[in-house]
Amino acid sequence: MKRSSRVLSLTCLIPLGVGLLTACGGGSETSAGQDNAAGYPRTVENCGREITIEAPPERAVSLNQGSTEILLSLGLADRMVGTATWTDPVLKELEEANSKVPRLADNAPSYERVLAEEPDFVSASFESTFQEVSSRDDFAELGVPTYLSPADCVKNNEGDGDGSRDQPLEMSTVYREIEELARVFDVPERGEELVEELRGRLDKASADIDASGVSMLYWFANKESPYMAGCCGAPGIITEEIGAKNVFDDTKKEWPQINWETVAQRDPDVLVIGDLTRESQTAEEAAQKIEFLENNPVTKHMDAVRDDRYIRLSGAAMNPSIRTVDGVERVAAKLREFGLAE
């Protein structure tokens, strides 16, 4: 019995509630969609689990924007039946492909909503998203393989908040996610091409920039108890690539909540601020953040605020994803514009 048939029989009991690769047809480079496809079943080691894929997925659901944009960039839109949990508009190069895939929810969808699409594969960027929907174990009980981004696997996700990292994240982990997903869907050459392109862009953006001595702060969202980047996540990759310093690199928490008095004391040269379109926290959009900074008595005298040294980044660029390369490119360009980097 095919996995999609098995899921259908179970879901019937549940009430329904750039320059990336061209998003071309999602056909396998061997024989996608066939029982006993060449090289299948195949097993992927993922976050301490062995995930067995019986055949190239034909009905994939992606629960986070980062995972979604990888699948779309690999040209797999016609093998996707749902996306969810968006912080920003999709990359412009992927708009047409994305328009063909149903959006199940702007944030985390319900378990029932996901199962209604009869998925044969579910991916996510964050363990917390799986927990919001249900759990990887619940999907496994229905015979639906799940995949979690390796960038989240190497993070300590215990306790409240966004977890912490003992070691700095590297882009090689994002490249690994691309290659593994390409292997799952039997399009390895597309994965190799995408990784090669991203590596080239990253090398070009960081090759001739020297931002040593420049201090930076990354503010994702929330104005009452703002989430600022710690040392070792995606903002750490950006900072390392351009040779600058994160003023909160003394914490290994992914996104610690830090009071404004401490922010003002650190007084960074540049404020990198998330420009998000979601609506789950206060001060999501960059304009809201800037208005707050320029009117708050604690922050309005900071050097970066007085001198209008803001760098707007998408939320996706501040999370481990293909967008992190966009982040390096934009930050490097803006620092040169500010006259703070050679």
Whole-prediction pTM value? 0.89
Q: Quick one: pLDDT at residue 342?
A: 83
The answer to whether residues 48 and 191 belong to one domain is yes
Domains identified in the chain, total number: 2
- Name the domain boundary from 152, 170, 200: 200
272 vs 38, which has greater pLDDT? 272
Which has the minimum average pLDDT: 6-10, 21-25, 222-226, 277-281? 6-10
Q: Which domain holds residue 257?
A: 209-338
The answer to whether residues 158 and 261 belong to one domain is no
- Name the domain boundary from 172, 200, 228: 200
The answer to whether residues 115 and 217 belong to one domain is no
The answer to whether residues 160 and 239 belong to one domain is no
SS3 for the chain, per residue? CCHHHHHHHHHCCCCCCCCCCCCCCCCCCCCCCCCCCCCCCEEEEECCEEEEECCCCCCEEECCHHHHHHHHHCCCHHHEEEEECCCCCCCHHHHHHHCCCCEEECCCCCHHHHHCCCCCEEEECCHHHHHHHCCHHHHHHCCCCEEECHHHHCCECCCCCCCECCCCCCHHHHHHHHHHHHHHCCCHHHHHHHHHHHHHHHHHHHHCCCCCCCEEEEEEECCCCCEECCCCCHHHHHHHHHCCEECCCCCCECCCECCHHHHHHHCCCEEEEECCCCCCCCCCCHHHHHHHHHHCCCCCCCHHHHCCCEEEECCHHHCCCCHHHHHHHHHHHHHHHHCCCC
The answer to whether residues 83 and 166 belong to one domain is yes
Rounded mean pLDDT, 90-95 = 97
The answer to whether residues 192 and 47 belong to one domain is yes
The answer to whether residues 290 and 215 belong to one domain is yes
The answer to whether residues 191 and 229 belong to one domain is no
63-85 pLDDT, tens per residue? 999 999 999 999 999 999 999 99
The answer to whether residues 195 and 283 belong to one domain is no
- Name the domain boundary from 200, 223, 251: 200
CATH classification of the domain holding 118: 3.40.50.1980
Q: Quick one: pLDDT at residue 37?
A: 79
Q: Quick one: pLDDT at residue 307?
A: 97
Rounded mean pLDDT, 275-285 = 92
Rounded mean pLDDT, 228-239 = 98
Model confidence at 52, pLDDT cuts 50, 70, 90, reads very high
3-48 pLDDT, tens per residue? 333 343 443 333 333 444 444 444 455 444 445 578 999 999 999 9
The answer to whether residues 267 and 156 belong to one domain is no
Q: Quick one: pLDDT at residue 29?
A: 52
The answer to whether residues 13 and 81 belong to one domain is yes
The answer to whether residues 72 and 140 belong to one domain is yes
